């Protein structure tokens, strides 16, 4: 301790304090302040960048899920549309069938009606012809009756044969 006190140099202490003080002030202004603030800025920048990246990732995820949602909706819509189309087609086909059937029914019934009408007309005409024929035959029979009985009968026979219902 005695040695230490003897070795203590006030001059060196003075200069050390002075130089160190100057060094402190100079380094604070020209070194530590800019260095620490640069490091701080850089760290802040990295933090911000990381945060931005995280946000972008989240946004992307959101976008992706939104896209999927849209896709899903679209798919569902397509499904619905297809189903509707199928229904409409089926309905149209069945409608058409019905209409066609109705038409056909109608035509058939018309045809039937006209056939009946024709038939009636034909029958009437036939009746008329038969009546005329009968009258003709009767006329001829009556004309021939007078000449011979036999011939008479034969004639009727023959006549009837010709008239066999057409």
The residue count for the chain: 166
Alpha carbons 165 and 158: distance in angstroms, whole number:
14
Query: Is 91 near other proteins (CB under 8 A)?
Result: no
Residue among 24 and 60 whose Cβ is closer to other proteins? 24
Query: Is 39 near other proteins (CB under 8 A)?
Result: yes
The tokens 């409409």 sit on which residue? 88
Residue among 36 and 121 whose Cβ is closer to other proteins? 36
Residue among 39 and 111 whose Cβ is closer to other proteins? 39
Alpha carbons 35 and 56: distance in angstroms, whole number:
31
Smallest separation (angstroms) from other proteins to the CB of 79: 56
Site for other proteins in 8-37 (CB under 8 A): 8-17, 19-20, 22-24, 26-28, 30-36
Alpha carbons 99 and 102: distance in angstroms, whole number:
5
Alpha carbons 136 and 140: distance in angstroms, whole number:
6
Question: From residue 102, how far is each of 88, 113, 119 by CA, in Å?
Answer: 20, 16, 25
Q: Site for other proteins (CB under 8 A): how many residues?
A: 35
Residues in contact with other proteins by CB under 8 A are 2-4, 6-17, 19-20, 22-24, 26-28, 30-36, 38-39, 41-42, 45
């Amino acid at each position: 301790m005695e040695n230490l006190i003897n070795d203590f140099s006030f001059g060196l202490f003075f200069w050390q304090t002075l130089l160190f003080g100057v060094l402190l002030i100079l380094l604070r202004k020209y070194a530590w302040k800019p260095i620490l603030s640069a490091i701080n800025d850089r760290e802040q920048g990295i933090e911000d960048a990381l945060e931005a990246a995280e946000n972008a990732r989240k946004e992307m995820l959101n976008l992706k899920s939104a896209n999927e949602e849209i896709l899903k909706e679209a798919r569902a819509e397509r499904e619905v549309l297809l189903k509707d189309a199928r229904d409409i087609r089926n309905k149209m086909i069945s409608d058409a069938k019905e209409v066609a059937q109705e038409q056909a029914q109608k035509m058939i019934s018309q045809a039937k009606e006209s056939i009946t009408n024709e038939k009636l007309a034909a029958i009437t005409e036939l009746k008329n012809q038969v009546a005329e024929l009968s009258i003709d035959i009767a006329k001829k029979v009556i004309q021939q009756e007078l000449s011979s009985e036999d011939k008479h009968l034969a004639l009727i026979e023959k006549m009837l044969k010709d008239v066999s219902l057409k």
